[in-house]
Amino acid sequence: MTSNLTTPDGAAWLASAGTYPRSTLALWEERPEAPVVLPCGSTFDVVSAPAVFGRRMVDRLWEEGPGSGPVATFRGRLLLFAAPGTAQRLPSLLRWEEFGRTGAIPPLLCHGKGDAVTVPALLATTPATSGDSRWLVAPDTRRPWLPGPETVLWAAVRAARAAVRISISSSADQDAKVYDVSRRR
C-alpha cells in the first residue's frame, strides 16, 4: 500500500471537494492536525464499511486488483474514497449480487451527492487509538485513481468469500477434517 502521510498535492485534491478550497488549505496550513468535514459527490464519493470487513476489501484491492485511492478510518469504520457516482450505483449492484442478499456483505454506507464525511487530519500528532480518525492510504496526488462501483463490488464479493473461507476453517471441533469447497469448479 502507499503512504499514510498526506502530500501537499493530496491536500489540494481533498480541499477541491469543498466550496472554499483555499480556506480549507489555509486551515490545514495553520492546523494540520485538524480533521475537516468535506462534501461528497463531485470530487469523490465514500463507501463506509465496518472496519474488519473494509480492511479485507482494501486487502483484496491491493493484493488481487488495481489498488485503491485514499482510505481512512473513522469511528470504527473504514472509509474507501471512490469515484463520484459510486454511492448512487453501488447499492443496486449489491442488491443484485448473491452475497448482498445472503448477508455475507455487511451494510455498506454510501456517501455521495448531498452527503459529507469527516476526513482525517493531514498530520497525526498522537499515536492512533481505535476510535481515532487516520489515513491508511493518504491522498498523494492531485488526481488519485478512485475505484468505481464495479470495482468496489468486486472487492466486497472477494472479501465476503475470504470471510466464508475463514469461518469454514475455524471449526469448534479442532480434530475434524475441514474441506474448503469454495474452490470447487
Q: Is 31 helix (H, G, I), strand (E, B) or coil?
A: coil
Share of the chain above pLDDT 70, in %: 79
DSSP designation for 18: S
Among the listed residues 50, 42, 49, 45, the one whose alpha carbon sits nearest the alpha carbon of residue 19: 42
- What's the CA dihedral at 85, 96, 163, 48 to 10 degrees? 30
Contact of 11 with 119, CB cutoff 8 Å: no
CA atoms within 13 A on the CB side of 52: 6
Contact (CB, 8 A) for 130 and 42:
no
> What residue type is 106 in one-letter code?
P
State the Cα–Cα distance between residues 50 and 110, nearest whole angstrom: 12
Structure-block grid coordinates of residue 113: 451527492
Which of 56-60, 94-98, 126-130 has the highest average model confidence (pLDDT)? 56-60
- For the segment 7-35, what is each residue's pLDDT rounded down to a tens digit? 999 999 999 999 999 999 999 999 999 99
pLDDT tens readout for residues 89-126: 999 998 887 655 667 899 999 999 999 999 999 886 55
Output helix, strand, coil percentages for the chain, rounded to the nearest 5.
40, 15, 45
